[in-house]
A and B are shown apart, each in its own frame.
Chain A
Amino acid sequence: MARLRRLRSRPLGRREALAGFLFVSPWLLALVVFHLYPIVAATYLSLSEYSVFTPPEFIGFDNYAKLWDDPTVWRAAGNSLFYALLSVPIGLVVALILALLLNRPVRGIGIHRTLFYMPAVVPPVAGTIVFLLLLEPRAGPLNTAIETVGLDGPAWFQDPAWAKWGLIILSLWGVGAATLIFLAGLQEIPESLLEAASMDGAGPWRRFSNVTLPLLTPVILFNLVIGVIYSFQVFDAAMIVGGTSGVPGGSTLMYMVHIYRTAFGYFDMGYASAQAMVLFLVIVAVTGAIFGTTRRWVYEGV
């Protein structure tokens, strides 16, 4: 019997391998053409002077040196960093609070979940333009609401000091996706643990801080890493609000918008590739640093 199987397994194995290669062949092609080759090409371009019209010319690390001395690059990097440092933590807290509120045994809670998630389905272009109206300084609903409390609302997208806050509020509106992931995490927490804590006399806060929160840390890590990666690459909203010059006063010029302008506005493909490579390295470094801290705060038990 064993011999029979061995006899049959060889031609079958070869046939299976052939079929396997055929099944994945579209992706193998894409892997080479749209991923591996572009990474090599981007690395080479980042070391070249290339304006599309003449062939690329190798210039070593000049682009990186230029980038280091370019105040606009620093400005854009600062804007992106500001945006990421605020929108990610605030977004995590808001999403967690919403998920805790939604994780209740209330009948018909599905409708609330749908409403919280809905903004994530709204196209970024449409949502951003709606927020331009909502945050309109004089007659926008937000500022008129602030006025009824007796305060003066900021000029949001018309004031360089507040425009990024407008973008952060917009990002909080789309927090529904992270909320659902937290909710899924909350529902994986064994109820027996909460029950046991309760029997030991732990109140709601103690149950949250000693049971729920530690068990949720892997999900927090997931949302944190995803949030960092995406907020570093914010483009749509910033481009729609401020265009390639970051109106008002360069305050919404995000790093990705700056790469876009360098590559497709000035056709300085070499310099843009260098900026993209730096973004890549920064993202790798930051996510690496986050993973480096996990031993201290992410609970891996159960």
Chain B
Amino acid sequence: MNLDRILNHTAPALPQEEKDQLLFDGLKQLTEYHKSKCPGYRNILHAIKYAPEKCRSLEDIPFIPVNLFKRLELHSIQESGNIVNILASSSTTGQKPSQIFLDKETSKRQSLGLTRSLKFVIGDKRLPMLIIDAPSSIRTKPLTARGAGILGLMRFGHSHCFALDNDLNLDQEQLTRFLSEHSGQPFLIFGFTFMVWMYFLQKCPPEINLENGILIHSGGWKKMQEQAVSPSAFKKAFLNNTKLSKCFNFYGLVEQIGSIYLEGLDGFLYPPAFSDVIIRDPFTLEPLPYGQEGLVQLLSLLPLSYPGHSILTSDMGILHQGTHNKNTHGLEITRRAPKAEVRGCSDTHASKVG
């Protein structure tokens, strides 16, 4: 497996052609690996008549719709004792959550993948960390996508402080204490986009100063669109109200935790070295060129314990050539595919939907 080699690359530095080759080799191996370990996945490959000898480029790697993880228990773990965690995508009533089975090895790959990606914005040292969520968010069993996301990010911080109470009200006392101790030096802020906007920025006292903060946020873009808050308006509001200028969005799904697409200066979301995106026509499923909107397919070398290395999401997006580095491409998520269920990190607070 080429993972070590790829992980050791600094993400945007790998030329696309070389990256395509590394990903193709790795993903083809992963397809065979899961075919041999996961009977459900083997049946799917059989049904779509997958033939390895006809798989010649990245676009030929077979993909499965993310919704399958809701209907089937798809995993490649031989002994159930080796399952260390089961992640659930959504706890909304009436919907069946995705179930993602993790073993030690995959958990570690996810953590290392995330570390490599986030070092670009955080740096090498862990920072004091303000979490825009409730302490109860990480206590649910099984862990929700929201809780898993927070716990994953907590490794990049220390002196963690939850800014909201369990009823999602701003915890003024905690916030004041944290800022008086840490705001004189760089500190990390993490939360889901909608919650950061609704429960934090809208409720922050006017004199608050987050000048030294590095905000990393994710998910919830659909609800932000409903509120008519664009990514640039989001950034501007933070700058004007709190002096915070370092603000990074990222895109990622619970089905591929560890593979995150970090927002570049041009606002597009850039894949790490071990992941990539293909945009497909929603009707023919044929790959589409830059600039055309279609269904987002995500590729990642991280998943070993479940066959999630190539998944077709329910998100629509457009791929753009990199603004600063023509060798790369960045993703723009445009909307949820019509008729797709509400799901994923964006429904961190699903009762607000509709």
A, B in one complex: no
User: Which chain A residues have a beta carbon within 8 Å of chain B's beta carbons?
Assistant: none
